[in-house]
Structure 1
Amino acid sequence: MITEKISQLLREVTFQASRSSGPGGQNVNKVNSKIELIFSVAHSSHFTEEEKHLLFKKLGHKINSEGELRVVAQTERTQTGNKRLAETKFIQIIENALKKPKKRINTKPTLSSVADRKNLKKKLSEKKSLRRTKFFD
């Protein structure tokens, strides 16, 4: 589902470069290698209202008040490396947010697990009853 939309989504993305605090030695002080990927979830034309609602629900802590999802990459030494990394992170975030969780199937406990639980309860009960002092006979 989302794999067809990836190239279309990447067209709606804007990039911002700034100075990184990552590796690179003196290069860090001179080159804008940190990349910030900005994607407006609220104004995206590739998601339905239902999908947008799901994204806001699951990624609420990553989306700012303007409805923008920001992904930062600064581990690579080059701007292009960080751009690729930011795109990969972005795609992963979107795919995970839109993934529907598996429905849990209720199962009955096994006979042995029920018996084990009852035996454990009986042992604890006996242990606690031995702690009680008898004041009156």
Structure 2
Amino acid sequence: MISVTPQIQLKEDELHFQFILASGPGGQNVNKVATAVQLRFDAVHSRSLPEDVRSRLLKLAGNRLTKEGELLITAKRFRTQERNRQDAIERLVALLQKAAEKPKRRRITKPSRAAKQRRLDKKRRRGEQKRARRPVTPLSD
């Protein structure tokens, strides 16, 4: 079990790993050993996620979400499969923790009278500054 929050626990069998060849550091090993990891997590059909967390996760996932509703995380930062596997899990947990946070409700406010006055004064000064830059037109009789 992977602990995301005290209320959310992921089962290991919900995560599917695929090892692929990676670019980057590793020398000759890069061409021979599949060290990069693709982690797939079926976010849409997961039984571990509450509905509100699932909807926030789908918004946060963006282009990491496949058409089938699977979250795809690719980790290739390290030279070993195990480190990349751990990195992918950590990134998934971080994303799930962010999705688990309930957004604060916006408190509707109005600008104060002084703030409105400052804005209008600033607009007036800016207009005067631009007017002063105009070419002077001669007065005609």
TM-score per shorter chain, which class?
Answer: 0.7 to 0.9
Encode CA deviations 1:51-97: one digit per residue, 9 max, x unaligned. 33332233242211111111010110100010110001111112223
> 1:39 is matched with which residue?
41
Aligned mates of 2:139, 2:11 — CA distance in 1? 77
Q: Could you list the runs of 5+ residues in structure 1 that have no partner in the other structure?
A: none
**Which moved further from structure 2: 80-89 or 61-70?**
61-70
- 1:78 maps to 2:80: yes
Aligned mates of 1:57, 1:70 — CA distance in 2? 14
Q: Secondary structure at the match of 1:61?
A: helix
Aligned mates of 2:68, 2:48 — CA distance in 1? 18
Aligned mates of 2:67, 2:47 — CA distance in 1? 19
* Aligned length, in residue pairs: 136
Aligned mates of 1:123, 1:16 — CA distance in 2? 63
Q: Calculate percent identity across the aligned residue pairs.
A: 35
Q: Could you list the runs of 5+ residues in structure 2 that have no partner in the other structure?
A: none
> 1:98 is matched with which residue?
100
* Amino acid in structure 1 at the alignment position of 2:31: N
**Does the 8 Å CA contact 2:57/2:95 hold for their aligned counterparts?**
no
> 2:53 is matched with which residue?
51
* Amino acid in structure 1 at the alignment position of 2:106: R
